[in-house]
Amino acid sequence: MKNLFSNFRGDLFGGITAGIVALPLALAFGVSSGLGPSAGLYGAIFISFFAALFGGTSTQISGPTAPMTAVSMVVIAGIVAMNDGSLEKALPAILIVFLLAGLMQIGLGLLGIGKYIRYIPYPVVSGFMTAIGVIILVTQILPAIGYYPKEDAEFVNLYKPMAEEIILDNILKEEAGEGILVLEDFKETISRAEGITEADMMKEAQTLAKSEASGVIGAIKVLPRALKNINWLELILALSTIAIIYGFKKITTTIPSALVALIVVSGVAYGFGLDYRPIEQIPSGFPMPNLGIFTQFQLSSVTPYVFTALTLALLGAIDSLLTSVVADNMTKTKHKPNKELVGQGIGNSIAAIFGGIPGAGATIRTVVNINAGGKTKLSGMVAGVLLLIVLLALGPIASQIPAAVLAGILVTVGIGVMDYKGLKAIPSLPKDMSLGPIKFSSEVVIMLVVLVLSSVWNLVYAVGVGLVIASLMFMKKMGDLTAERSDVKSLEKEVNWPDEAAFPKSLQEEVFIKHLKGPLFFGSTSEFQQMADQIPETASTVIIRMGRMQYMDQSGLYTLEDVLISLRKSGINILFVEVLKQPRYMMERVGVIPQLIPEEHIFDTFDECLVWVKSNVKDKFVTS
């Protein structure tokens, strides 16, 4: 902390610049999440300040990011649907999930998990990031053309019958909870049903219409209807925003083009009194903690989202630590991964308490900060303070920003966040696996599976499926590679080891030597099981050389035990040579040693084993 002000001027300018870049994105991510622009600002303020203060990367600028916002959308939409479409009722549970994600990040840091995050396979990350881009891009088409499903009366009317069923079903559930027997008291049910107003029906139908049009599949479903109801003014505002963002970058990158687009297009729309749709009202005054997350907390509403909270925590960790690596490369420093996770967790936890959406280390904002002179934690804290000043001083003005402008900004974010490097590499990646005659690249399969499932199904589950597939394919590859070293060959086909040159030729028909090279594990057990079938009928003794078998897993152990039992039943003596520490420990635990292989049949060297063979094995073909 004593070095906090060692680069005051550079950190001040870097923080201000990063804060300016963060402003339009914070508003856009807040709107996109479903909690509104203020939630995006609150998240940017608190995460930027506290993640910088407690984190392990001096130059990192944190706040809401595209991946974190995309997962947050899933959480928010799901919990709102469980609360009759009421965001107000759902808000405590939503913020509890965000708080839980922050606390999990703190736990990951304290447990030292930070150094393991880098083991997440690249194809999973690539597929996920491209899916984020697809989700943002597709879901922003509707607001960009000024179409809002719940405001389309004809579309909403389609859901009125379903809305009536849901309302009646809720009445029956309420009565069941109150102990009212419907069959005995129809009057109470009828009375409550008669209390349903047209406004209640319309509200529920609007919720259903909005839910039906949510996500990638929903947006695509209603797109034909939306294209017949384009609001041309909104579309022009969105396209103007996109054009300025890309066009201004060609003039200069010193001033954030997204901010220029926000100010110019909003200024023109407001100045000329155009009839546009503004974003939601941003509350004025200092953010206040939402104590309802503690007083109205219900475990049942959060339990289904524990895994989602963990996903948010891991995603934020990956996002942040990848940005930390970028910062290290630019500043020639080294971040502290576990401390960074603790800082991110503290920032996300505090943001949740104040009603903000979760975030992570943001690469673009961090790069901007470093290029502008930021070197210490002060720069991230300055960025958070700047956003707080904007909230307090310019909240009413920011509330006049057209919704289409933020949709345009998000369209460019969606295009930019896709992993084009991974997509371009698809044709050139080696086809390292096969399914019958079909050959394919395992990495391409993983990436496409995560991309498709994330886009059309569920972000959280898609990542889990991707990790499982990546793990299975990795194990298959390692199994194949390792099995190549654990050759299972008959004696005449296998190359003798140097110390076997003196083995008596007269005993080669009676003694079978097996070399175990490499680990005996699940990937090589099937080949090892074939060893019993390779033993010549004339053999009475089998020597198993283990000096190059460093490791044995449980699958290998039990396979070895089965083979040894089979050989013993056939009356064959088994001799072990050079049993290493780990395999011996495993065999002693289940009784292979000494029950199947007594100590006198275990030798430290092949020469010692050869002495035993010469003394105990007789040539069956010697005529007396």
400/267 Cα distance (integer angstroms): 9
Burial category of 505 from C-beta neighbours within 10 Å (exposed 0-12, middle 13-18, buried 19 and up) = exposed
Kindly state the percentage of the chain with pLDDT values over 70: 88
Domains of the chain, earliest start first: 147-184+192-229 (no CATH), 425-485 (no CATH), 511-616 (3.30.750.24)
Mean pLDDT rounded to a whole number for the chain = 83
SS3 per residue for 41-91: HHHHHHHHHHHHHHCCCCCCCEECCHHHHHHHHHHHHHHHHHCCCCHHHHH
Burial category of 115 from C-beta neighbours within 10 Å (exposed 0-12, middle 13-18, buried 19 and up) = exposed
Among 256, 209, 236, 214, which Cα is nearest to 407's? Answer: 236
Query: How much is the average pLDDT of 268-282?
Result: 89
307 vs 75, 98, 297, 346, CA distance in Å? 11, 12, 18, 19
What does the pLDDT look like over 521-561, one tens digit per residue?
Answer: 766 666 677 766 677 777 888 888 888 888 888 888 888 88
Whole-number pLDDT of residue 241: 94
Q: Is 39 helix (H, G, I), strand (E, B) or coil?
A: helix
Whole-number pLDDT of residue 175: 61
Q: How confident is the model at residue 483 (pLDDT cuts 50, 70, 90)?
A: low
473 Cβ neighbours under 8 A, 6+ residues apart: 433, 442, 445, 446
What does the pLDDT look like over 240-261, one tens digit per residue?
Answer: 999 999 999 888 877 888 888 9
What does the pLDDT look like over 418-443, one tens digit per residue?
Answer: 888 888 888 877 776 777 777 778 88
What does the pLDDT look like over 74-102, one tens digit per residue?
Answer: 888 888 877 777 788 888 889 999 999 99
Inform me whether the pLDDT recorded for 70 exceeds 90: no
Most confident of 106-110, 113-117, 123-127, 437-441: 106-110
Q: Is the dihedral of CA 308, 312, 314, 319 positive or negative?
A: positive
Whole-number pLDDT of residue 190: 66
Whole-number pLDDT of residue 623: 47
Query: How many other CB atoms are there within 10 angstroms of residue 476's CB atom?
Result: 14
48/42 Cα distance (integer angstroms): 10
Q: Does residue 446 or residue 164 have the better pLDDT?
A: 446
Query: How much is the average pLDDT of 456-475?
Result: 80
Q: How confident is the model at residue 572 (pLDDT cuts 50, 70, 90)?
A: confident
